[in-house]
Amino acid sequence: MKSWKNLLFITFLFIISIISINHLAAEDTALVYVIDIRTEIGGGVHTYIKKGIQKAEDVNADVIVFDIDTPGGLVLSAVKIVHSIQDTRIPTIAFINKQAISAGAMISAACTQIVMTSASTIGDTAPIDAQGKEADEKTLSFIRTTFQAIVEDQQISPRNPDIALAMVDKKFVLVRLENGDIIKLRPEEYFNAQEAGERMKVLCAEGELLTLTARQALEYKFAEARAETLDELLSKYQIIQVGRSYLQDESDVVTMALTEDAYLSRQEELGIDQVRVVKTLENAQVSKYVVTLADRLVFFITSPYISALLLSLGGLGLLVEIRTPGFGIPGILGLLFIGLFFGGHMLNQIPHPWMPLIFVVGLAFIVLEVFVIPGFGIAGILGLVLMLGSVFYVFFDSTGDFAAALLWLSISVILTAVLGILATIYLPKSTPFQRFALSTVMSTDQGYHSAGSEDFQSFLGKTGVALTPLRPAGTARIDNKRLDVVTVGDFIAQHTPVKVLEVEGSKISVEALEE
């Protein structure tokens, strides 16, 4: 009996040991969080990346890898992404898997490590405006200073800020001196150095923007490693901690992801007791932050081109609805397009989500002006200001540029006007419209008769009084006869003296008679 108890006890200890070993092995396995940046940089991309970083922090990821393939995009969105990367305490690796151009280069430089595939490139960060032209000096100065600050802030893997400036500004000459140092020179400094006989190699001439291949980025120490796949990248890296003491005080410990060579270099620089390996990323657990359908929809809607189109189609629908009686399909579609415009940017977390309410209030003023208040006065002007102002703010928040926001607002207004004119000309002739419109011909042989054949020319030049408000059609009493008239100008209030200006058949045009 005693032997059976001993056997059960030993079996219990064995099971506990196996569970403990598995638990410790699970804890030693690194968790890598992968976030894709494989699209044009816009406001929606910033929101997506911010949520991805937050998710990585929630699950205590050891490393965040940004899988980058982007031609660039909006500067303001890129700066917001850079701030989100700099704010996280998790080590970050930019895996440039084809290209990191313009805003993509800034985002990559914000990561603590840059790894590139053999065929990838990084650089060409000069800003351009919404028309594709080179930005003004003010914008260029902002990008130049921002990119330089991003590189100088990188203390774990220092990079040459002069290389970053050569990616932004064409006014410099980037050279490598005989001692191997890479510096930027102004054209006059370069020519003076040449005349003094200094030996140097031009890496990027004046008037050119620097774009580096993977080989050049490694040679100039702007990137830390080369890898063709994510697995190869992870096999090169390990998590290390650098600090004064690991047994007494861990408040000064810094966690970073480094290659084997960089780890040995840190040990040699700081001492073996100050640097230790915590985990290796080889065979790490990889969790990918998936781009959802909602994310893709936000990317699509918040694009300035699509936003302008949605706004124009919404404005067209509302214009058609205002000019036709009742409320039908044009109004519903108009509100739907406007809702998509504001809804996409609200998902993009615009600072003031009550902007759609301002637009609705402005639209209410316009409707009040058209159907209730005669003429076009304060209510109409206020309505236009509120509507256009709310739309301008959304564009400005997305682009971060006053001129670009004004340009996209102007494009939306002009496109709405053009679509309105085309709808006025071609819509009545279209088959779908005729299905809803009365097209029956009321001929005389079917019993329909027009107004009498009275000659209205005798009323030309005579005066009378408006019996109803004329906006523009209504009824007036002229020469003791009640006639249907239209105005040739603005709204005419009831009981206003009028004068007949034109007579075309049975159409009588009048204007308000000045006292």
Spatial distance between the Cα atoms of 163 and 176, rounded to a whole number of angstroms: 11
- Indicate where the chain has its CATH 3.90.226.10 domain(s): 24-158+209-289
Find the helix or strand (DSSP H, E) in which 83 lies.
Answer: helix 75-87
Spatial distance between the Cα atoms of 487 and 35, rounded to a whole number of angstroms: 65
Pairing state between β 92-101 and 113-116? parallel
Spatial distance between the Cα atoms of 476 and 480, rounded to a whole number of angstroms: 10
DSSP 494: T
The residue behind tokens 């009275």 is 454
Spatial distance between the Cα atoms of 448 and 443, rounded to a whole number of angstroms: 6
- Residues 33-48 as b/e (b if ≥16 CB within 10 A, e otherwise) read bbbbbebbbbbbbbbb
- Looking at the domain 24-158+209-289, which fold is it? 2-enoyl-CoA Hydratase; Chain A, domain 1 (3.90.226)
- Looking at the domain 457-512, which fold is it? OB fold (Dihydrolipoamide Acetyltransferase, E2P) (2.40.50)
Phi, psi of 200 (to 5 degrees): -155, 160
Q: Which residues contact 345 (CB under 8 A, 6 or more apart)?
A: 43, 301, 302, 307, 394, 397, 398
What's the pLDDT at 162? 92
Vertex 71 angle, CA 66 and 72, to 5°: 80
- Indicate where the chain has its CATH 2.40.50.140 domain(s): 457-512
What's the pLDDT at 20? 42
Q: Write out the DSSP string of 430-492.
A: SHHHHHHS------GGGT---S----GGGGTT-EEEESS-BSSEEEEEETTEEEEEEESSS-B
Sheet holding 254-259, edge to edge: 254-259, 237-242, 275-280
Q: What is the pLDDT along the chain (515 residues), one digit of tens a residue?
A: 555 555 555 555 545 544 443 433 334 688 999 999 988 887 778 888 988 999 999 999 999 999 999 988 888 888 889 999 999 999 999 999 999 998 899 999 999 999 999 999 999 887 776 556 677 777 788 888 888 888 888 877 789 999 999 999 888 999 999 888 999 999 999 999 888 888 899 999 988 899 999 999 999 999 999 999 999 999 999 999 887 544 444 556 788 899 888 888 888 888 777 888 889 998 899 999 877 776 677 767 777 777 888 888 888 888 777 666 556 677 788 888 888 888 777 766 665 667 878 888 888 888 777 766 655 677 778 888 888 888 887 777 766 667 677 877 888 888 888 887 877 776 666 665 555 544 554 454 554 444 444 678 888 888 899 888 887 788 899 888 888 888 876 778 888 888 888 888 778 888 888 75
Using CB atoms within 10 Å of the CB of residue 207, give its burial: 0 to 12 exposed, 13 to 18 middle, 19+ buried. exposed
Spatial distance between the Cα atoms of 477 and 496, rounded to a whole number of angstroms: 11
Q: What is the pTM of this model?
A: 0.66
Q: Write out the DSSP string of 247-316.
A: SS--TT-EEEEEEHHHHHHHHHHH-GGGEEEEEE-TT-EEEEE---HHHHHHHHHTSHHHHHHHHHHHHH
